[in-house]
């Protein structure tokens, strides 16, 4: 009889905890680790690289007629942009720009076609992050990056490796173009859902000798004046107040 009860009433097994499905969504920025080596990068290649060759032939002829941005002299007398009522610069293309870096370290500037694309240009500027963001809070900041023009040069302007930098008319060291590191891509990935804003990014390290990792993201209007001059204007959401930055790239 005992054996019959055993056959009818098998021993109770504790149910295994239900397995949760894998998390495929991006965690909020405030909960994400800044330099996670296992972070999956889902950023896409910018579409400009796919169709830029055929499109540039047509645009180059049009832009040759409207070369409204003269060569900048070392005194950095930069022309003031003429904006339309809707916040767009005449002849400009809207892209995404991100300033980021540790407060006491050099600031990085990344330009993307949109927040979900890989950077098409990444610069390291010889200005501490905290200093530049502080200056932007006080008023308009104009940065001119100059490099030497060579007669037989076929390099695209934004592919120049090193620049002499002027900030508000004063020489301020150099700007260096570099390829994105894993840390840079991790920041871009964390901010892929952010179109504009500013704040502090978390870090897995408890010791931050260079201060907190801060960022500022905004829309920029890119205006190509000629083969040797390009300008990037930060677009303010309200059109008037708030930080503003203008970047000028020229070969002289």
Spell out the SS3 assignment of 206-240. CCCCCCCEEEEEEEEEEEEEECCEEEEEEECCCCC
9, with CB counted inside 10 A (0-12, 13-18, 19+), is exposed
For 126-182, the pLDDT digits (tens) are 999 999 999 998 888 999 999 999 887 789 999 999 999 999 999 999 999 999 999
Nearest residue to 215 (alpha-carbon basis) of 237, 194, 245, 242: 194
Q: Please state, for a pLDDT cut of 70, what percent of the chain lies above it.
A: 65
Half-sphere exposure of 37 (CA within 13 A, CB side): 0
- Check whether 74 has a pLDDT greater than 90: no
Q: Please state, for a pLDDT cut of 90, what percent of the chain lies above it.
A: 52
Beta strand 162-167 with 106-112 is unpaired
pLDDT at residue 48 in the model: 56
pLDDT at residue 67 in the model: 41
**Contact status, residue 104 vs residue 210, Cβ threshold 8 Å:** yes
| pTM across the whole model | 0.70
Instruction: Give the three-class secondary structure for 201.
Output: strand
- Check whether 214 has a pLDDT greater than 90: yes
For 113-122, the pLDDT digits (tens) are 999 999 999 9
pLDDT at residue 186 in the model: 93
């Amino acid at each position: 009889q005992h054996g019959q009860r055993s056959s009818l009433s098998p021993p109770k097994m504790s149910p295994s905890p239900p397995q949760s499905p894998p998390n495929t969504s991006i965690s909020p920025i405030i909960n994400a680790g800044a330099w996670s080596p296992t972070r999956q990068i889902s950023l896409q290649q910018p579409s400009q690289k796919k169709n830029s060759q055929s499109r540039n032939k047509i645009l180059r002829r049009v832009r040759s007629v409207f070369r409204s941005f003269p060569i900048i002299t070392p005194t950095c007398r930069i022309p003031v942009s003429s904006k339309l009522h809707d916040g767009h610069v005449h002849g400009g293309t809207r892209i995404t720009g991100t300033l980021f870096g540790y407060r006491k370290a050099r600031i990085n500037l990344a330009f993307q076609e949109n927040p979900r694309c890989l950077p098409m240009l990444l610069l390291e500027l010889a200005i501490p992050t905290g200093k530049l963001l502080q200056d932007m809070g006080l008023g308009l900041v104009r940065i001119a990056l100059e490099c030497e023009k060579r007669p037989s040069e076929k390099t695209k302007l934004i592919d120049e490796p090193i620049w002499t930098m002027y900030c508000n008319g004063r020489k301020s060291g150099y700007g260096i173009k570099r390829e994105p590191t894993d840390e840079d891509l991790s920041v871009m990935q964390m901010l892929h859902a952010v179109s504009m804003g500013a704040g502090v990014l978390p870090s897995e390290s408890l010791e931050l000798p260079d201060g907190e990792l801060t960022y500022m993201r905004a829309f920029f209007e890119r205006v190509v004046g000629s083969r040797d001059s390009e300008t990037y204007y930060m677009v303010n959401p309200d059109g008037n107040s708030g930080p503003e930055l203008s970047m000028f790239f020229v070969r002289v």
